[in-house]
Structures are given as C-alpha cells and as structure tokens.
Amino acid sequence: MPLAMRRKVFITCAVTGSGDTTGKSDKVPITPEQIANSALEAARAGAAVVHCHVRDPETGAPSRDPELFREVTERIRDSETDVVLNLTAGMGGDLILGGVETPLPPKADGTDMAGATERLRHIADCRPEICTLDCGTMNFGHGDYIMTNSTAMLTEMAKQMKAIGVVPEIEAFDTGHLWFAKHLVEQGHISTPALVQLCMGIPWGAPDDLNTLMAMVNNIPDDWIYSAFSIGRNAMAYPAAAILAGGNVRVGLEDNIYLSRGVFATNAELVERAANVVENMGAELIGPEDVRALLGITKRAPVQR
C-alpha cells in the first residue's frame, strides 16, 4: 500500500504502566492522585487520550484493584481538563512457569491469572471510553514469564467490552495479533472503525525497525485507526515514524522514562516533545472531542453506587 502521512494526529500518553520503572525514576506516578495529576498534566500538554494502569500506593507494584482504578477515574473525570480515558484491561494474564525442568506448578510469586469478568471488573465499574485488549499470548521479557491471552479469553473479553459499551484498543505486539483482531471484527465482537495500538520493540514481539513497522501497518485494514510506539532509546523517534506511516502517536512513562540521555522526563514533557514533532511535520494536533467523534464514543460517568 502507498504510504500516506497522517495530517490530523492525536497523542496518547501512557502514564505509568506496570513495569519496574518506579525504582529508576521518581517521576513515575504511583498513587491514584499522582497518576491522575500526571494524566491531567499530559492532557494540558496536548494528549487527547490518557492510558492508565494503577499501582499499589505503598510498594509501587502493578495492581488491578478496582478501587484504585475508581479513584483515578473519578479524579480525572472531576477535573476541568477534558481527556479521553483509556484504562488497561491487560492485567490478570501473567503466568510465571516454575523453570525449564519443572514448569508446573507455576510460581505463586508473580503469577496472576484471572477470568474474563474479573479482568474487566474495573472497566464495567469505571466505564472509560477505551480499554485495552492485548490480542495474543507472548514471551514477554526474559525468563519464565508469559503474557497469556488465549483466543477463547480474548473472544469473551471482546464480547464483554462491547456489552459494556467501551471501545477496545487492540494492543498488537506482532502480526498474528492483528490477524486475530481481524477475526474478532469479522465475528462481530469488535465494531469498526477498530482502534489499534502497534507495540513495537518489546521483547519478544515485533522489533521496531521500519520494515517491521510497515509489515504491521500493511496488516491493518484501511478503515481502522491506529497509533504506534516503541520503548526505550527509540521511543522519541517513533512519533515521526508513526505519523509518516499514517498513524497517531503514543508516548509516556510506561514506555520511556527519559527526555534525553540521562535526563528523566515527566509525562507532560514527553507529550510536549511529541506535540512539537507533530506540528513541525506540518500535521494538526487534535483533541479529545475530535477523538470521540472519530471513534463514535461518548464520555460517561462511573456506575453509581
């Protein structure tokens, strides 16, 4: 397919993630208040969408506690700053095997396997506009850790997302994930235009070289909407690559904790840097209302208790 640079671009800020970054930079937000404030600062800097995980306020470890998601949601929604809320639904599929000779039983420390309804409990409660759907299983990082998402699990989660009325952001770490996402659309479990996040450079998924990026892009149907990002040293080069490939932009401390070599970033600073790239390339930065119109979504309040 011929390349066509995207002319109207939105930025997603991935605010905190679930990686082991809190011990590396004190700018990574941990508490619900810190996560919400950092998300709002990113929105004021130009992010139309904020993608939020939550962490244990005491330890900084990743969490899927619905009450923490509820607090983040309410703090963002109660502010005067408008932004599209995107909550992770990727937690609850962590499998750590017992070792190469005795893989079973899996290790209790770090293994967190939950059912589809449990994985989406905070989504049903908080009702964000968007939540993530990691469309495949993969050897994530090193050692015995596997990010597990069976086809049965993904089908059920997609059905529940549709019933809740939240738009899934398809997280694609390799081309097979896009293949299965297209199957979910064909089966009617995901509506179009589907939303995709191309997750590049994450061991051991798709590497972030441009040939692989284009292989991913060429597997996305023309009427779908997508963004792309990379992690680490190439994170700040990827806004330009994504725009040239016809996509939108994602930055944030989930993916990269540096503004430049040795200089720790805030989320707002990463968004400002990406916004400069968008504008210097001659593209137009669009905001949350434009994103809602693009995706056909409506801002809603959490479920009343």
Query: What gap in Å lies between CA 109 and CA 94, rounded to an integer?
Result: 10
Query: What gap in Å lies between CA 198 and CA 138, rounded to an integer?
Result: 15
Q: pLDDT tens string for the chain (305 positions)?
A: 457 899 999 999 999 998 889 999 999 999 999 999 999 999 999 999 999 999 999 999 999 999 999 999 999 999 999 999 999 999 999 999 999 999 999 999 999 999 999 999 999 999 999 999 999 999 987 899 999 999 999 999 999 999 999 999 999 999 999 999 999 999 999 999 999 999 999 999 999 999 999 999 999 999 999 999 999 889 999 999 999 999 999 999 999 999 988 899 999 999 999 999 999 999 999 999 999 999 999 887 787 77
Where do the domains of the chain lie?
A: 8-295
At 2 the pLDDT is 55
At 226 the pLDDT is 97
HSE value, Cβ hemisphere, 13 Å, CA-based, for 295: 27
> Using CB atoms within 10 A of its CB, is residue 166 exposed (0-12), middle (13-18) or buried (19+)?
buried
b/e per residue 171-209 (b: at least 16 CB within 10 A) = bbbbebbbebbbebbeeebbeebbbbbbbbbbeebbebe
Fold for domain 8-295? TIM Barrel (3.20.20)
Residue 260, classed as helix, strand or coil, is strand
Q: Which of 193, 183, 192 is nearest to 154 (CA)?
A: 183
At 261 the pLDDT is 87
C-alpha triplet 296, 299, 300: angle, nearest 5°: 125
Query: What gap in Å lies between CA 89 and CA 121, rounded to an integer?
Result: 9
Query: What gap in Å lies between CA 153 and CA 159, rounded to an integer?
Result: 10
Q: At what angle do helices 210-217 and 175-186 cross, to 10 degrees?
A: 10
φ and ψ of 194, to 5 deg: -70, 150
Query: What gap in Å lies between CA 44 and CA 92, rounded to an integer?
Result: 31
φ and ψ of 252, to 5 deg: 140, 165
